[in-house]
Amino acid sequence: MKLTFDHEKLEVYQLALRFIAWLEPFIEKLPKSISVRDQLDRAGTSIVLNPAEGNGKFTKPDRCRFFDISRGSALECAAALDVCVAKGKLCAEELTPGKDQLLRIVSMLIGLIRANSDHRLHKGEGD
């Protein structure tokens, strides 16, 4: 029987890993001199690491904080991809699958935040 960590069972964690695998060839295409390259790598990595760390926390507010950081990193990746297109470094059409994955990741993280919070992100509050 294979032992797994609790965070490995999270669907959002698995999807975040798939996003990182999808993102890597695009990062490699970008010139090392463009600042968005490093930003994409760091933010993408943060999407994976924060749910793992947050899922191991004992209190709901602690878990929410890490899920929220991961959500912010996913939004940052989406914006960084837009910057790459605006600068003419990548084509918008080739980024659609990754942005679709990010949208799904953000939705899942919002679900985790709602499930772990008694006062944040409830229906009717800016949905």
CATH code for the domain in which residue 85 is found: 1.20.1440.60
67 lies in some domain: yes
Q: Which residues of the chain have pLDDT under 50?
A: 122, 125-127
Q: How many angstroms separate the CA atoms of 37 and 45, rounded?
A: 12
- If one counts the domains in the chain, the total is 1
Specify the pLDDT at position 118.
80
90 lies in some domain: yes
CB 51, CB 110: distance < 8 Å: no
Nearest to 45 by CA among 23, 68, 78, 29: 23
70 lies in some domain: yes
Instruction: Mention every residue, 6+ apart, whose C-beta is less than 8 A from residue 104.
Output: 15
Specify the pLDDT at position 127.
46
Tell me the two tokens of residue 59. Answer: 């209190």
pLDDT tens-digit profile of 64-86? 999 999 999 999 999 999 999 99
121 lies in some domain: no
Domain ranges, residue 107 = 10-115
Specify the pLDDT at position 125.
47
66 lies in some domain: yes
**pTM of the predicted model, to two decimals?**
0.90
20 lies in some domain: yes
